[in-house]
Structure formats: structure tokens, C-alpha cells
Amino acid sequence: MLRGERVIVRPMKDEDVPILAAWTADVGKTTGDYQRYQLEHGRMLTTLYAQNGLISRESGFLIIELAAEQKPIGFVRYTAGHFPDPDIANIDVGYGIAEPEYRGKGYAGEALALLLDYIFAAYPVERVSAYTDPQNIPSRRLLERLGFICEGTMRSAIFHHGDWRDLCIYGILRREWVTRKG
């Protein structure tokens, strides 16, 4: 469990399964205007939760909970890939506030900062990546506020709402994160 001022980032619990099912059944809560929606996401997450609690060395799907209310409002996730070098993990992160009334209040940023602290403490990685639609201004601002740098754009990288969309590639290096944390 990772505790911030206003949020807790924690592993899923059994009582979160119906909440996650409701989130993944509602396109606006899990994907919104900028992420592709797959019908099997809810089933896949539920199956993986039963297998490993949605946490392994290679990946994690964690709940963002309001600390005061103990209310789940979203998620953060990390995935260790092996690109470009199979011997060195490259971790990418994602996040979402599934409950619309809690968006734009800084909860995702606080949760992602907690996750970055954890990743840089627990993994021997030099960088963490994140991807977002160029038109997703709130997500771009969140990443830039945390010190991520837009490193480029993958053109026509994701099919969403009947169209191919670009993805901005963001990255932050260990030394940049440590310097920001002071």
C-alpha cells in the first residue's frame, strides 16, 4: 500500500471486483475519449485478479482510493516490457480516474507520483514511459507536471472510435525524478 496526502494506492481486494466490473462496463469510465475500448478488458482483469491479484513482478493494476472516504475512484498500473533490450526492463505506466466527479482534482497525479516512488525504489530501471493521445490535454499536463518529457509521437498507433490516432511518448529518467523529489 502506498499512502499519499489524499489518496491510497493499493492492491485490489475482493470487494473491488464488482466496482471494476462496473467501471469496465462503462466506456466513459474506463476509456473515455482517448483510449481504445475492448470488450474483454473487464473479463481479463477479473480473471487475472483471481490468478495473481493483478500484481506480479512484471505488472501491477492498483486501485486509487480516497484516503478519507476509503472510496475507490480509479487505478494506476505499471508494466515492465523488455524493449529495446531484452535484458533491461522498461516500465510503462498508466492511470485513470474512473469516477468522473473526481477527475481534474489532482488525484491521478498524486497516485502516479506514489507509483513512481515505488518503481524507482523497487526496480533497477533508468526510465519510466507513459503514452497518451496528443489531444488528451489533461493527461499531458499531468505528465509534464510530474516531470515527464514528451519524447516523440507514434503516428497512427492506436485504433479508437473508428479512426487511427497518434500517441505521444513521454518519459522520465530516474535522475530527473530523484532531483524533483529533492
**Domain residue extents for the chain:** 2-181
- What is the model's pLDDT at position 13? 94
- What pLDDT does residue 4 have? 97
In the predicted structure, residue 178 carries a pLDDT above the cut 70: yes
C-alpha 171/C-alpha 155 separation (Å) is 17
Query: Residue 128: what pLDDT?
Result: 97
**CATH class of the domain comprising 2-181:** alpha beta
pTM metric for this prediction:
0.89
- 49-96 pLDDT, tens digit each: 778 778 888 899 999 999 999 999 999 999 998 776 766 778 999 999
